[in-house]
Amino acid sequence: MDARCQTFRDALIESSTLDQHSSHDCAECAAWARRFRQRESVLGSLERRAVPAELDGRVIAALEAGYREDRAVAALRDLARVDVPSSLDRAVERVAGEVVLRAPTQVSAPDVLRRLVEEELSDPSKARARRFVGSLPREFAPAELDARVAAELAKPERPRRFRSKLLAASFALVVLAISIELAISVRVSRSRIQWVEASDPSELSPMAASLFSGFSGGASELSRGGGAR
Amino acid sequence: MFALRTQVSIALLFAFASCSHVVDRSSNGANGQSNATGSEQQLVAKIIAAPNSISWTGKRHLEAHYLSHGTPTDLVYDETVTTDGHGAFHIVADDLVTPQLSPSAEALFLLSQNRREGFLFRHRDNTVRIEELFLGNYTIADQGATETFVGRDCAVWTIASVITPGETWKLWIDLATGVILKNEERDDQGALVNSLAYLDFTLDPDTSNVVWHVDPVQETPLDPATQGSQLGFAPALPKGVPQGYRLLESTAVVDPTDNSTWARFVYTDGWNELIYMDGGPLTKKPPTQGISPKADVVRTLSIGPWLVCDGHISNHRVLAIGRVSLSSLQALIESALL
């Protein structure tokens, strides 16, 4: 069979109406064409079977962008573990030496480091602020302030009426401070959400990507990197 | 100094009070009254009833012109819709006109459109959802004269949102059936944003060979009294929905990818819809580069007028989709979970 035979056979497969005698004279191909038409006839006479209803869904699930990560994970899980040849072990041992190989099992990060890393990760802005404030030089009160405080203390005791007013004002300040704390806590709890702008539907969960496609009439799939491209 | 602190404190107290105060906006629309005439109200009722009372088929042409990542983008395609007059329907995507994709990519897009026909018919297609809410939140300007479109006598309306000035749609509504045969949404500059137009329309077609839509996901209505046991968790309901919106339906939806159950709440302003979903306790947080695993993360994606928020807050999976501002969706989510 040469290249012309292959061309003839490809053309016959693509178009069943091709006349096999018109442009190619080869007994082997003629026999192949007869067998091909017989098989085509037999297949054509078979009863047509309905495609299972869930096939559409499975095809979409397999092809949609949101499932790529799942497929990648599944593919990695399916990979067989490759055994390392013993000669590699020996070579590594020779180069690195026993001390280096044993070291990782003996050394561990101190607890304080673990705690600091956790604090850094849980609230990076707070950790940065703490570091920044801690590195600032300490400012001392001016001597004038000391003098004024001493002068105030040296004055005779205030009347009782003034003290009651001071007490009431202090109480009001405490109430205000609690209110402010509550208000700030609400603002802080809101700001703890990190709103991240996604650039592509594939960054969304499969459920969100699927619903967003429907809601936008398919527009989201045609955006950059969408599933239909 | 003290006076300034007092003013700040009072301002914060008011801010706190306004944050914690739950505004009930589930009234009959923004202004609570309607300018609609009796005949307009009758036609609105027909629009709502059409999918469950009229059997029709027709090929239709859809266009969307929007910004995607700042780039003007066009989506134009044709599809055929058929209904049985008793709630069943079927949509077949026929042809993707724009953008031009490779044959395999176009085939995949059309196949995907067919797959989500239920979502397209129920949520993408513009229609009136709740009569009194629609009449309260939208003004109707009737062109007056009847116009013939695809062989049908149509009323031509321009509806405008009372809540969001500048949001307008022009509708061609079949007077006999209430089917919206054409709708156009334009921006405040008059440029076409979205449109749907029937290219032909047939009443009472032969539907013997139509394969009606079957929901691919398991979805059951939520009973407020037993929703905790239905879902396996107590859903966090939004307390601050966008102005003019109210709850249309609530269902339990099973995610086919992991068989987990979501609570789905659909809100409407009478015309537009907004979907909020609570996926219950998060079993495994997805890794996010550069963000602490303890942080609450919500991703947002905006394409044209459509917006989605997807993430986890207070150890709950959460998802919201709508044609509203980002701040509105953020407030909705925060009101549910914070």
**Inter-chain residue contact A204 with B68, CB threshold 8 Å:** no
Angle between helices A27-45 and A3-14 (to 10 degrees): 20
Could you give the 3-state DSSP secondary structure of residue B286?
coil
Instruction: For an interface test with B, give the residue of A54, A116, A205, A229 to mutate (most B CBs within 10 A).
Output: A205
Q: Are A209 and A220 in contact (CB under 8 A)?
A: yes
Q: Are B257 and A57 in contact (CB under 8 A)?
A: no
- Work out the average pLDDT over B139-154: 96
Q: Which residues of A touch B104 (CB under 8 A)?
A: none
Q: Which one of A42-46, A107-111, A147-151, B328-332 scores highest in mean pLDDT?
A: B328-332
A65 vs B36, higher pLDDT: B36
**Inter-chain residue contact B113 with A192, CB threshold 8 Å:** no
Q: How many CB atoms lie within 10 A of CB B250?
A: 18
Q: Are B188 and B166 in contact (CB under 8 A)?
A: yes
Q: Are A218 and B75 in contact (CB under 8 A)?
A: yes
**Phi and psi at residue A206, in whole multiples of 5°?**
-55, -40
Res. A156: pLDDT tops 80: no
Instruction: Read off the pLDDT of residues B283-332 as tens digits, 9 standing for 90 and up.
Output: 766 655 555 666 788 999 999 889 999 998 888 899 999 999 999 999 99
Nearest to A194 among B120, B123, B295 (CB): B295
pLDDT of res. A189: 52
Q: What is the distance, to the nearest Å, from the Cα of residue A138 to the centroid of all Cα atoms in its chain?
A: 43
Q: For residue B165, say if its preceding peptide bond is cis, omega within 30 degrees of 0.
A: no
**Inter-chain residue contact A206 with B115, CB threshold 8 Å:** no
> Which chain B residue's Cα is nearest to A61?
B257
Q: How many CB atoms lie within 10 A of CB B119?
A: 20
**Phi and psi at residue A123, in whole multiples of 5°?**
-150, 80
How many alpha carbons lie under 13 Å from residue B273 in its C-beta half-sphere? 25
How far B38 CA sits from the closest chain A CA (Å)? 32
Q: Are A162 and A170 in contact (CB under 8 A)?
A: no
Closest among B186, B253, B191 to B221, alpha carbons compared: B253
Instruction: Read off the pLDDT of residues A71-92 as tens digits, 9 standing for 90 and up.
Output: 677 777 777 777 778 888 788 7
Closest among A9, A229, A59 to B101, alpha carbons compared: A229
pLDDT of res. A225: 46
Report residue A118 as tokens: 């956790």
pLDDT of res. B4: 43
Instruction: Read off the pLDDT of residues B248-295 as tens digits, 9 standing for 90 and up.
Output: 999 999 988 788 899 999 999 999 999 999 999 887 666 555 556 667
How high is the ipTM of this complex?
0.84
Nearest to A190 among B123, B293, B334 (CB): B334
Nearest to A182 among B16, B111, B256 (CB): B16
CA dihedral of residues B273, A53, B52, B80 (deg, nearest 10): 80
Could you give the 3-state DSSP secondary structure of residue B309?
strand
A182 vs B11, higher pLDDT: A182
Determine the Cα–Cα distance for residues A38 and A60; give it in Å rounded to an integer. 36
> Which chain B residue's Cα is nearest to A183?
B16
Q: How far is CA A175 from CA A13, A168, A169, B6, B162, in A?
A: 88, 11, 10, 11, 42
Instruction: Read off the pLDDT of residues B92-129 as tens digits, 9 standing for 90 and up.
Output: 999 999 999 988 888 888 999 998 999 999 999 999 99
pLDDT of res. B320: 96
Confidence tier at A16 by pLDDT (50, 70, 90): low
B301 bridge partner residues = B308
Amino acid letter, B200: D
Closest among B54, B43, B56 to B202, alpha carbons compared: B56
Res. B337: pLDDT tops 90: no
Instruction: Read off the pLDDT of residues A87-142 as tens digits, 9 standing for 90 and up.
Output: 887 887 777 665 554 544 555 677 778 787 887 787 777 777 776 666 677 777 88
Q: How many CB atoms lie within 10 A of CB A155?
A: 7
Nearest to A222 among B75, B291, B293 (CB): B75
**Inter-chain residue contact A197 with B301, CB threshold 8 Å:** yes
**Inter-chain residue contact B303 with A61, CB threshold 8 Å:** no
* Mean pLDDT, chain B, whole residue set: 87
pTM of the model: 0.63
How far B145 CA sits from the closest chain A CA (Å)? 32
How far A170 CA sits from the closest chain B CA (Å)? 12
Lowest mean pLDDT among A25-29, A89-93, B136-140, B193-197: A89-93
Determine the Cα–Cα distance for residues B35 and A93; give it in Å rounded to an integer. 87
> Which chain A residue's Cα is nearest to B255?
A207
Nearest to A183 among B12, B120, B304 (CB): B12
pLDDT of res. A170: 85
pLDDT of res. B168: 92
Determine the Cα–Cα distance for residues A201 and A212; give it in Å rounded to an integer. 8
Q: Are A198 and B297 in contact (CB under 8 A)?
A: no
**Inter-chain residue contact B5 with A219, CB threshold 8 Å:** no
